[in-house]
Amino acid sequence: MIRPLRLSDLSAVMRIDQHTNTHAWNEQQWCDSLAQHRCFGLEHQAQLIGFAVCMVTLDEAELLLIAITPPLQGQAYGSVLFRALLNELATDGVNKLFLEVRASNLSAQAFYQRHQMTLSGIRKGYYPIDSGREDAQLYTLEGLA
């Protein structure tokens, strides 16, 4: 089941974020996002197992974060969440989705390609890494609404 995230989900969301994101958001960033962005949670057996955060502007959205708790990764929950997110955005009149992914994150790139997203550009040195900066691969999906 996908549903809007609530402030009461904060600790569960932060725990998933810390286990899936090398630069996890802090509590203030999450509170700001819950107040300002479209934030969805995926529940399984009454437990929050994943989330997606989008910034929507008119008929476009940017996917800021999407994650599934590590023990349940690779079991199609990410696809369930992503498809539900696309449906929610389309219902709200969003026609185009953008996102960035680390150049080294080949599994995420394969995931987005399986979901018909198109590589649309590169941002040089976008992400920090221990030894400097890493490029971001930009992906786009059009025709949602």
Could you report the per-residue pLDDT of 49-96, keeping only the tens digit for each? 999 999 999 999 999 999 999 999 999 999 999 999 999 999 999 999
* pLDDT over 80 at 140, yes or no: yes
Q: Is the alpha carbon torsion for 93, 16, 19, 15 positive or negative? A: positive
Looking at residue 145, its pLDDT comes to 73
Residue 139 is among the residues annotated as catalytic for this protein: no
d(CA 51, CA 54) in angstroms, rounded, equals 10
Among 100, 127, 139, 142, which one carries the catalytic annotation? 100
Specify the pTM.
Answer: 0.91
Residue 112 is among the residues annotated as catalytic for this protein: yes
Among 27, 88, 112, 126, which one carries the catalytic annotation? 112
